Structure 1
Amino acid sequence: MNPVVAPWVRTRLRTAPLTAAALALLVALTAALAAAFPRAVDRYEDSGLLRTLHQARYDRVTVQVTAPRPDVTLPPAERAAAVRPDALRDRFEKVLTTPRAPLAIDRARSSYGLGTGDSPPVPDPWIPRPTGLPARISLFAHSDLAEHARVREGRLPRAGGAVGTTATEAEAAVTEATAKSLHIKVGSVIHVPGTDRAPLAVRVTGILTPRDPSGPYWSTVPLLRTPTLVSVPSPGSTPDRYWLGALLLAPDAAPAILGTRGSHPLYWFLAPDENALHARDAGRLKSAVAALESGPGLQRARALTDPFAEVNTGLDDVLTSYTQLRSGIAPLVAVAAFGTGTVAAVVLLMTGGLAADRRRTELALLRARGASLPGLTARLCAETAVVAVPAGALGLLAGLIAVPEGRAGYAAVAALAVTAVVCAALPLRAALAHRSVRVAAEREDVASVRPSRRRTVAELTLLVLAAAAVEALRRRGTSGDQLISLAPVLTGIVAALLLVRGYPLLLRRLARPAGRLRGAVGPLSLARAGRTQVSAVLPLLALLTALTTAAFGGSVLAGVDEARDRAALLAIGADARVEAQAPLPSSLTARVAKVSGVREVAAVSIAYQAKPDDGQVSVPLVGVPPDAYAALAGHTGLGAFPEEQLKRASSGGPLPALASPSLAEQYGTRRAFPVRLEDGSSVTVRITAVRSLTPAVSGGDFLVVDRAGLGETAARPTALLMTGDHVGGRALRRAVGDLGSVHLRSEERAQYADSPLQTGAERVYAAAVAAGGGYAVVALLLALLRAAPERAALLARLRTMGLTRSQGRRLLVLESLPQALLAAVGGALTGWAAIRLLSPGVDLTTIALASAQTPVGEAELHTDPLSLTVPAIAVVVVAVGVAGVQAWWTGRRGSVGELRAGDTR
């Protein structure tokens, strides 16, 4: 056979343009999804890292290099020269080169300077003294003050010549917050105590507004921006307090600070360049930070600044917390990625396999006429590559445009892998089917062909791998190697292989009783189903893998939603909650009940410092209206109880109480015991019901009693618990006003998914599951369309024998039902089994409740009925719908076109 030439390829493309266009569309779409996936993961992981850095304070994230003040034994001129701006700037430029990649430093947001360190008290009486203690003031000669602040009043400070260590006067500026809290005005003079000399008189020449108050320049040392009211222990019940503030001197006036009291450290604050930090470099970032704090980086920093310099940062702790969150989320995303990738790969292979099966007669004829196997394979590869390579390139470009951020290399490799699979599928399948020259193709029906030994060995190998993956996931959880992430996929593959093995047996079992039925449609449909090609294993494999992945993924997403709903309910205790420290007015209950969305309101009083048995341990005691509170507990599912268990007897006696299990074990359920309340009153209670949860308080111990049995003061409500659909937060806050704080269950729930790492992973997971379902539909359609010509010809022949149109529709529907039902029922059962097998090793707490402040237990994986049934029903509906449409369309076209001379199909 001659080498590959273009005319043959061009002729083949002209012969089937629609097929080539459909293949190009499939390749482009798959390449685009494959290219977008790694970039989407990079994007949400980088966004999550950026959010983590923003949520952490800059005094933790910034790399702080500090050095002790110049040696006091040096001449004053040398000490002053060591802290002047030129000397500090020179060392700053050198320190910037200390961190190694990938830790990049943002020079514009970094700073350096000299401070007093210890803050001495100042004697000026006009500065506020909340408890009589004098205010303390820190002096800073901070770099580039004019670039990071706007002058609101006055002017920036100046040095006024060569300032030395013995200077007695200096100029400074303060921020608006410092001026407001310390009553500082332009022209105010503050006397900072000196060391063996008169105090340094600092005159305030300007009040500044920070340009970026939350940035590292002002937030690495928050005192630069905002003064602090410091509390110190005192013998009395009220702690002593004093103001701590900062004065910002001109950098040229830094030597004057050396003459005041304090440790006077030199500092260089290196702010990380957030735009240059990537989640994929988290491990190398931690290594770079560790090298700075106690490794080669520290030695280099000391060589460039001072032999006793220290490097401190909390960036490594921030990175550790982020990597822990990411490590809990990434395996779940990997499960969806492997599932969707497997389905897509099966569909691409099936496309080549179906094309080879459709052209079996043509290829067998070419082989019979002398075509060599390598030459035939090369022609088919060139024919496919002409379509697949441009489509793959377009798909890659679309993926890069759709997701601009992320690594382009991984996207290119993914798109290239898709293109390579498509280019190799048809040639390899054809080479495998036409290894030997045969004049007529042998029959390869599912019901007649028996599996080979090699197939048996491969299936057993997959079974062992699936069992190992499931066992590893149950033992170690999702934190492991990639085999664990393949567990759901392998489960679906093994189930598909088992169903293919059992499918012929099922058909044989059904064929005998169907033969005794009246009419020809039933037996004929089963006979037709038994003649399904062996290549139908690929559509079934795609369907079961997709259904298993969809069931597992849908259950994961449903479990996440359920865990967040549960956590929000435990935190709030109802759909909405109003709580105050002081008793709420009685009119507020009626006003709140009129708010849009509110259905029921339970007014309760909560005494958090109640002491049972006059002991020292405090327990929350909740006074409730039994009927409304019982309805609330039943609605929320938090410790439901009959209201009769709390109603006090008309004859008096101890109050019935609902208690937590630990309190019931401690005080018993038979004896009555006194409870002393915060207002000094006391009630006697007896535990009549035990529940682990109750809506009014979250977690811990509690006592719930009838509010009518409390004293007048203790019975006044301090909280309102509301149920209802879509409670209006704005209207509720307007109704409550300043009387109490308003908490909504919906707002609490939203806080659990505030990290881009969570929301991004959920979106990628949902998209992967949806894409897997789409590929399953494509696989089903390809399988049905492959058999469409043969079915059309069959209907045409049968109509010449008297088959009616309604019988033709029933025939095609019944013929497609066995495999569709097999896939649907098998997929649902496989998804259910996979979830039950893998749920002990899957913890959804990280992705669902990473932001939860209060532990609410482990979020477990449960089966989601919708995720199991909806995809399975969709498979049956699509199969039946396609068969019905084909029967209808064939009936409209007539029989002449299908009954061509020489048609052997």
Structure 2
Amino acid sequence: MGRPVPRPATHRPAPAAAPWVRTRLRAAPGAAAALALLVALASCLAGAFPRAVDRYEDAGLRRALRQAGPDHTTLRVSLPQPDLGLPPGQRAAAMRPAALERQYRKVLGTVGGPLAVDREQSAYGVGSTVSRAVPDPWLPRPTGLPAQVSLAAQSGLAGHARVRGGRLPRAPHPVDGTTREVEAAVTAATAQGLHIRVGSVVHVPAPGRPPLAVRVTGILVPRDPGGAYWSTVPLLRTPSLVTLPTPGPDPDKYWLGALLLAPEAAPALLGTSTDPARYWHLAPDPRALHAHDLDRLRPAVAALESGPALQRVRAVTGDGADIGTDLDDTLASFSRLRSGISPLVLVAAAGTGTVVAVVLLMAGGLAADRRRAELALLRARGAGLSGLAGRLLAETAVAAVPAGALGLAVALVAVPAGRTGPAVAAALATVLAGCAALPVRAAFAHRTVRLTAVREDVTSVRPSRRRTVAELTLLVLAVGAVATLRRRGTSGDQLVAVAPVLIGVIAALLLLRLHPLLLRRLSGPAGRLRGAIGHLSLARAGRAQASAVLPLLALLTALTTAAFGGSVLAGVAGARDRAALLTVGADARADSAAPLPADLPARVRAVPGVGAATAVSIAHQAEPANGQDAVPLVGVDPDAYGELTARTGPGAFPADRLAGRSGTLAAVASPSVASAYGTRRSFPVRLEDGSSVTVRIVLVRDRTPAVPGPDFLVVNRAGLGAGAGRPTTLLVTGAHVDAGALRHAVAGAAAVRTRAEERARYADSPLQTGAEHVYTAAVAAGAGFAVLALLLALLRAAPERAALLARLRTMGLTRAEGRRLLVLESLPQALLAALGGALTGWAAIRLLSPGVDLTAIALPSAPAPPAEAELRPDTWSLVVPALLVLAASTGVAALQAWWSGRRGSVTELRAGDTQ
């Protein structure tokens, strides 16, 4: 047998190395989970913010449309009756429902763009443009004038009303201008006001022939009285008692009501003298209108009123068609309010966004520092910079992208209303920042291959030229933003919104330049101290990483934004409180045109929460001699009213200045009254009851609690006559005045107003309350991320601090000394951030206050605000966040020292404990 032929040797391929991403995730699952949690939280906030803004702005727009009412917001397309030269058959055909409905559908097609029409509330038909008096004697005549009626044949009557009595009107045979009798229905309110019943016949005058007999066949109840169907022309729903502008104490009045014909009976109006017109009412759909479309909504409405869209409507209906609406005025009013509020919210968004970006960059920097040795070794072994950055990008993307998607999904669910596009874009930007932080930081740190790490102590590293250029650029931008804001106000561009953020950035860079100088100044005195803790803590603070710019930047930005936001909210609250106080005059007031009951002050004082009730008499039509205008004259008890003014603030004066009950009465006057009548002479004042008093102005005050207006005279009530001196108003003060109990005590003898209710009236718009809530949430989120930045900075130095404590404990360092060491080490930067944040916030508010107008968000419903809404530094907003930063920094350092002292390795390393 031959020897076996040896087979050729085969080389098995080496097992493939484990993928980079999987290996790194398995090696550091905690870091990956922390990054995922941070990105998820950041993307959730970023995705929720634009949707929250859209939600409250849309709610504010719907509120504005609802307050304006359908009679001002509906698009009313009107067309006169057909030309008299046309044959009667064509004229009648043009008025019938089939022709009107065909034109209605074409008119709807001309309304495009963001302006959506609510087809359920829209209608078309034929109606009278001139109301005519009817001769029927059974209709009410309050002053002898006959009632007048308006005829309307509107589509969809059966679907928008419920029949209370009788039936809906019908037109069983073709109707034209020669028809002598038609059927109609009226609403329950019209039937009650005009005494109409089922079967009543109203005769409408017709030129050249007998009147048109309108027989009422049904009484209707509107299903949605406030909807556009019934409220575009309120007369269809509710009659009106018209008062003629005639001289005399009893002006002439007459009733005006509407008779609702069947749509098929519309041609009968051609035979009356009511000048009928065809109309198409297009009600905007508030649910489909959005505030972010406001820039397109207003041109669309303008085009319908007098633009290309009107020409398209006329091509469908006729050359004489016209469109009228006040929707553009409503949109303009809402736009003014929105433009005053949006920049303030944008300031909070810019501050919070900056803090979030800084925290994401810090997270990447922390990971890069933790893996400095690993990445340096890879670079030394020939790893390319782009390949290394790509692997790190893939590593972070595996954790950040799903977390960002999860955070966006939570935001979409938590805030269901609003646009999705901006939310996705904001969340995507957050995810990209979270993914790119580590690769960019690592690529920048390892762009040059080094065998040893370069020290980057805060006291040794000198600022580079590029850093100086960048700081100067930011300084120029900040100065430009501040100057623009002070000159143009919050109506400027996007640069204005980031002015507080830029001020915080500049302050952070300035403090970082001052930090080494301060440490060097303190190192000399600390070296002369008896113990080594002070000197060692300063030395440790000087050995801190120069990259501490990021936590300090985050802290200062958050503190500046919090101070600015807190001052905005405090200014808004203060303006509303002052405006409510100036309007009401006290915590509550009870006013009556007639003298109040004698026992009313005692009943009011017995109400829980009431501290005092000051009675005053107000003569609103007092006439000074030789004066052209009436001036309110207030009669007061000097002692009680003086105490009231001292408590409330406006118009305080010493009570003894109004002493004197006879002869010439001393008076406190407003500046306008004092300027008109002088303060050196006496003058008579004629009161409403015919009596007269002589007064002399001794004091001038801008305000007085009893009268909210700018004109007044305040005198001693004892010097007035018995009739004029009887109280007509009670001014109530108390810590917690119960409005319900107060009204119950008054028992209808006077109208009650409270300061709390008046204050709530200034914040009744969802645009205001929504902006305040979003602003507060943004400031809170920025503060939370700033604290997170502080924790990340401490976490970066935690291993080194733990090792330092372990070595020092072997040399006899006690636990108490270890705690003091870490606290003193973290104290310089914490003090720098706290003091710098408070000063930066104060400086930002003082610099920006001339250009920030809080009136739009504080008092939008007041055409002439009684109080100024100015931005002023708020002490609590400046001090509390700074103290919290200081407490968090020192608290974490003390906690770390305590935890390090409990570890077994420290116990093994230390050489004794003398504590």
Residue identity in the other structure for 1:709: G
State whether residues 563 and 841 of structure 2, in contact with CA within 8 Å, keep that contact through their aligned partners in structure 1. yes
**Which residue number corresponds to residue 836 of structure 1?**
846
Residues 843 and 858 in structure 1, CA contact (< 8 A), matched pair in contact too:
no
Structure 2 spans left out of the alignment, 5+ residues: 1-13, 911-915
Which range is displaced more, 230-239 or 303-312? 230-239
Residue 887 of structure 2: aligned partner: 877
Q: Is 1:451–2:463 an aligned residue pair?
A: yes
Residues 1:90 and 2:138 are matched in the alignment: no
SS of the residue corresponding to residue 19 of structure 2 reads helix
Is the Cα–Cα contact under 8 Å of residues 110 and 217 in structure 1 kept in the other structure? yes
User: 1:801 matched to which residue of 2?
Assistant: 811
Query: 2-side partners of 1:286 and 1:90: how far apart?
Result: 28
- Whichever residue aligns with residue 500 of structure 2, its letter is P
Between the aligned partners of 2:628 and 2:297, the Cα distance in structure 1 is 50
Q: What is the Cα deviation at residue 5 of structure 1?
A: 8.0
Cα shift at 1:647: 2.0
Asked if 1:324 corresponds to 2:336, the answer is yes
- Verify: 1:863 aligned to 2:855, yes or no: no
1:303 aligns with 2:338: no
Match for residue 264 of structure 1? Answer: 276
Write out aligned runs for 1:63-74 (5 A).
Answer: 63-74=75-86
Aligned-pair CA distance for 1:90: 1.1
Partner of 1:337: 349
2:486 matches 1:509? no
1:584 partner letter: L
Residue 575 of structure 2 contacts residue 867 of structure 2 at CA under 8 Å; is this kept in 1? no
Instruction: Report the Cα distance in structure 2 between the residues aligned to 1:852 and 1:595, rounded to whole angstroms.
Output: 31
Q: Once the 2 structures are TM-superposed, how far is the Cα of residue 524 of structure 1 from its aligned partner?
A: 0.3
Q: Equivalent residue for 1:176?
A: 188
| Secondary structure in structure 2 of the residue aligned to 1:258 | helix
1:10 is matched with 22
Which of 93, 112, 131 is residue 81 of structure 1 equivalent to?
Answer: 93
8 Å CA contact retained: 1:824, 1:876: yes
CA distance in 2, matches of 1:386, 1:899: 40
SS of the residue 1:635 aligns to: helix
1:135 aligns with 2:124: no
Query: Could you say what secondary structure the match of 1:787 adopts?
Result: helix
Q: Aligned partners of 1:438, 1:185: CA distance in 2, in Å? A: 101
How far off its partner does 1:174 sit? Answer: 0.5
Q: C-alpha distance in 1, partners of 2:868/2:755? A: 20
Is 1:230 aligned to residue 248 of structure 2? no
1:598 aligns with 2:615: no
1:354 CA displacement? 1.5
Q: CA deviation at 1:75?
A: 2.4
- Equivalent in the alignment of 1:903: none
Deviation at 1:502, TM superposition (A): 0.5
- Which residue in 2 is equivalent to 1:26? 38
- Measured against aligned partners, the alpha-carbon deviations of 1:518-560 in whole angstroms (never above 9, x if no partner) come to 1000000000000000111100000000000000000000000
- How far apart, CA to CA, are the structure 2 residues paired with 1:185 and 1:647? 67
User: Is the aligned partner of 1:850 residue 2:867?
Assistant: no
Distance in 2 (CA, whole Å) between partners of 1:895 and 1:160 is 103
Q: CA deviation at 1:450?
A: 0.4
Distance 2:19 2:621 in 1: 91
Q: Which amino acid aligns with 2:833?
A: A
Q: Which runs of 5+ in 1 are unaligned?
A: 901-905
Aligned residue for 2:586, secondary structure, equals coil
Aligned match for 2:720, one of 710, 734, 741: 710
Instruction: Report runs of 4+ in structure 1 exceeding 4 Å deviation.
Output: 896-900
Q: Does 1:771 align with 2:781?
A: yes
Q: How does 1:100-499 map to 2 (within 5 A)?
A: 100-499=112-511
Contact kept, 8 Å, 2:809 with 2:906, in 1: the verdict is no
Question: TM-score, length-normalised on structure 2?
Answer: 0.97
| Inter-partner Cα distance in structure 1 for 2:448 and 2:174 | 98
What is the alpha-carbon distance in structure 2 between the residues aligned to residue 262 and residue 175 of structure 1? 21
Amino acid at match of 1:265: A
1:32 aligned partner, one-letter code:
C
Contact 2:810 2:909 in 1 (8 A): no
Partners in 1 of 2:137 and 2:687 — Cα distance?
A: 45
Once the two structures are superposed, what CA deviation does each residue of 1:226-277 show, in whole Å capped at 9, x if it has no partner? Answer: 1111111224343211111100011111111111112211100011122111
Amino acid at match of 2:214: V
In 1, Cα distance between equivalents of 2:479 and 2:415 = 37
Report if the CA contact (8 A) 1:42-1:405 is conserved. yes
Task: Give 2:173's aligned amino acid.
Answer: G
SS at match of 2:202: strand
CA contact (8 A) 1:539 1:780 kept: yes
| Whole-Å separation in 2 of the counterparts to 1:270 and 1:460 | 57
- How far the C-alpha of 1:331 sits from its partner, in A, is 0.4
Q: Distance in 2 between matches of 1:854 and 1:240?
A: 35
User: Residue 377 of structure 2: SS of its match in structure 1?
Assistant: helix
In the alignment, is residue 688 of structure 1 matched against residue 698 of structure 2?
yes
Q: What is the aligned partner in structure 1 of residue 666 from structure 2?
A: 656
Percentage of matched positions with identical amino acids: 70
1:656-688 CA-partner distances (Å, limit 9, x unpaired) = 111111222222223221110000001111111
Q: Does 1:671 align with 2:671?
A: no
Q: Are 1:826 and 2:836 an aligned pair?
A: yes
1:147 is matched by which residue type in structure 2?
G
The answer as to whether partners of 1:633 and 1:641 remain within 8 angstroms in 2 is yes
| Contact 1:793–1:898, Cα closer than 8 Å, also in 2 | no
* Structure 2 match to 1:562: 574
1:551 aligned onto 2:568: no
Listed one character per residue, the Cα deviations across residues 264-312 of structure 1 (whole Å, up to 9, x for unaligned) are 1110001112211111111111111111111111111111111111111
Query: What is the match of residue 9 of structure 2?
Result: none
731-740 vs 543-552, which deviates more? 731-740
Q: Which residue, out of 810, 816, 826, partners 1:816?
A: 826
- SS of corresponding position for 1:64: strand
Report how far residue 189 of structure 1 moved: 1.1
Aligned length: 896
Amino acid at match of 2:699: A
Per-residue deviation, 1:699: 2.3
Hey, what's the Cα distance between the residues in 1 that align with 2:693 and 2:894? 76
Deviation at 1:689, TM superposition (A): 1.2
Partner of 1:746: 756
Secondary structure of the 1:265 match is: strand
Equivalent-residue separation in structure 2 for 1:303 and 1:624 (angstroms): 69
Judge conservation of contact 2:809–2:909 (CA < 8 Å) in 1. Answer: no
Q: 1:387 to 1:780 in 2, by over 3 A?
A: same
Partner of 1:780: 790
Instruction: Verify: 1:580 aligned to 2:559, yes or no.
Output: no
* Pick aligned residue for 2:59 from 47, 50, 56: 47
Partner of 1:647: 659
Q: Deviations over 1:399-432 (max 9, x none)?
A: 1111111111111111111111111111111111
User: Once the 2 structures are TM-superposed, how far is the Cα of residue 208 of structure 1 from its aligned partner?
Assistant: 0.5
Counterpart-to-counterpart distance in 2, 1:611 and 1:399: 64
Contact persistence 2:149–2:256 (CA under 8 A):
yes
Question: How far has the Cα of 1:327 moved from its partner?
Answer: 0.5
Cα RMSD between the aligned structures?
1.4
The verdict on how the C-alpha distance between 1:898 and 1:117 changes in structure 2, with shifts beyond 3 A counting, is farther
Question: How big is the shift at 1:6?
Answer: 6.2
User: Which amino acid in structure 1 is aligned with residue 334 of structure 2?
Assistant: Y
1:757 corresponds to which of 743, 749, 767 = 767
Structure 2 residue 710 is the aligned partner of structure 1 residue 700 = yes
CA contact (8 A) 2:73 2:327 kept: yes
* 1:616-648, Cα deviation, whole Å (9 max, x unpaired): 320000001111111111111111111111121
- State the distance in 2 between where 1:555 and 1:235 align: 55
- Scaled by the length of structure 1, the TM-score of the pair is 0.98
| Partners of 2:127 and 2:152 within 8 A in 1 | yes
Distance 2:675 2:261 in 1: 65
Q: 1:800, CA displacement in angstroms?
A: 0.6
